[in-house]
Amino acid sequence: MWFHIRLLEKCNLSCSSCYASDHNRSQMLSFPEFKDVLETIKQIQKVDHKMSVIYLSGGEPLLHPQFFDFLEYCFAQFDRVSILTNGILVKKYINDLIPYKEKLCVQISLDGDEDTNDVIRGNGVYKKVLEALHLLQDNNLKHWVSYTVSQFNKHCYKSIIDIAKETNSFFNNVTPYIGNVDQMLDYYEWKEFKYNYEKYTRKLNIESAHGPNCCGFSYNCGAFSGGLTVNPDGSVAGCARINDVMGHYKDMAKFILQKSRSITETCMKEKWQDFSYFNTIRYLE
Ligand SMILES: C[S@@+](CC[C@H](N)C(=O)[O-])C[C@H]1O[C@@H](n2cnc3c(N)ncnc32)[C@H](O)[C@@H]1O
């Protein structure tokens, strides 16, 4: 399973698409709480914690004043650890990241070509992201690009795939934007996007490891069955994007589902409700 641990709400960007834009930005996990979260994960009987993946996220995880203590501690407990970052602080911390390169993966968000990305993520962000991706590549740190797809940036898939290829990104994490319904893709638009995206990866002869690995491509929702999210206030949710909070992290074992659901039952429920009427993954596939 994956455990998406949001260390803090604070961020150094204010992306227009962010699900956390109205969160209380002062919340953060303390080091003792973080240790306790990891201990709780290790005690979940039905989870093989050696196979589990820990995502350190936020807000912006690299802004947490004890981030490297967290990382060190996490590596002592788990073999598979990833940082989900906007990339802005990668240059500052690259030398601190290098010692972890054997096991660490770094996800960097990129939401379009330069103009499109910077409307969503802020002026000058695109250039910093590219610099970060090249730095990770030059230092042999495993990394991948994360692309959140909305009406506004759905046309940018080629540019993002090109960059993933150019910087030897491990894969692309392509997920649908969830939030303002006018910006979300409807079912046909998503189908078309998926088709075009896959066609272009085939054209560039990108290995499947670079391919989409996400709810939007499998139409399966991993929340509660594939993974859980721990928020900086200690609450536990399935998916950060819809913040489907169930309770406190201490009780996380109780919320794990045996079977995954279709995304028509979760994040895309409102937008794809006509399809949830037919309600089968088989129908969508
Ligand atoms: C909230 S950010 C936190 C980590 C880091 N600050 C970053 O920007 O990557 C984690 C990921 O969630 C995605 N995300 C944010 N808001 C979203 C939304 N409304 N729907 C889908 N994905 C979203 C971002 O694009 C990013 O890839």
- According to DSSP, residue 63 is labeled G
Considering only CA atoms, which residue is closest to atom 6 of ligand 1?
60
Cα-to-centroid distance, 242 and ligand 1 (Å)? 11
Residue from 4, 14, 17 to probe ligand 1 pocket by mutation (most atoms less than 8 Å from CB):
17
Say yes or no: CB of residue 82 within 6 Å of ligand 1.
Answer: no
Residue from 15, 67, 154 to probe ligand 1 pocket by mutation (most atoms less than 8 Å from CB):
15
Residue 6: C-alpha distances to residues 85, 136, 139, 181 (Å): 11, 22, 26, 25
Please say whether the beta carbons of 88 and 25 come within 8 A.
no
Considering only CA atoms, which residue is closest to atom 21 of ligand 1?
177
Say yes or no: CB of residue 85 within 6 Å of ligand 1.
Answer: yes
What angle in degrees, to the nearest 10, is found between the helix axes of 67-77 and 31-42?
A: 20
Residue 4: enclosing H or E segment and its boundaries? strand 2-6
**Homologous superfamily in CATH for domain 2-258:** Aldolase class I (3.20.20.70)
Please say whether the beta carbons of 176 and 185 come within 8 A.
yes
Cα-to-centroid distance, 15 and ligand 1 (Å)? 9
Name, in order, each residue with C-beta under 8 angstroms of 79's C-beta and a sequence gap of 6 or more.
50, 103
What is the C-alpha to C-alpha distance for residues 32 and 211, in angstroms, rounded to an integer?
A: 37
Say yes or no: CB of residue 17 within 6 Å of ligand 1.
Answer: yes
Say yes or no: CB of residue 241 within 6 Å of ligand 1.
Answer: yes
Residue 237: enclosing H or E segment and its boundaries? strand 235-237
Tell me the domain boundaries of the chain.
2-258
Q: 34-70, pLDDT tens digit by residue?
A: 999 999 999 998 788 888 999 999 999 999 999 999 9
Residue segments in the chain with a per-residue pLDDT below the cut of 50: 282-285
What is the C-alpha to C-alpha distance for residues 88 and 12, in angstroms, rounded to an integer?
A: 8
Please say whether the beta carbons of 77 and 42 come within 8 A.
yes
Say yes or no: CB of residue 231 within 6 Å of ligand 1.
Answer: no
**Alpha helix locations (H) across the chain?**
31-42, 67-77, 90-97, 114-121, 125-138, 157-166, 187-203, 215-218, 252-255, 273-278, 281-284
Cα-to-centroid distance, 84 and ligand 1 (Å)? 9
Say yes or no: CB of residue 20 within 6 Å of ligand 1.
Answer: yes
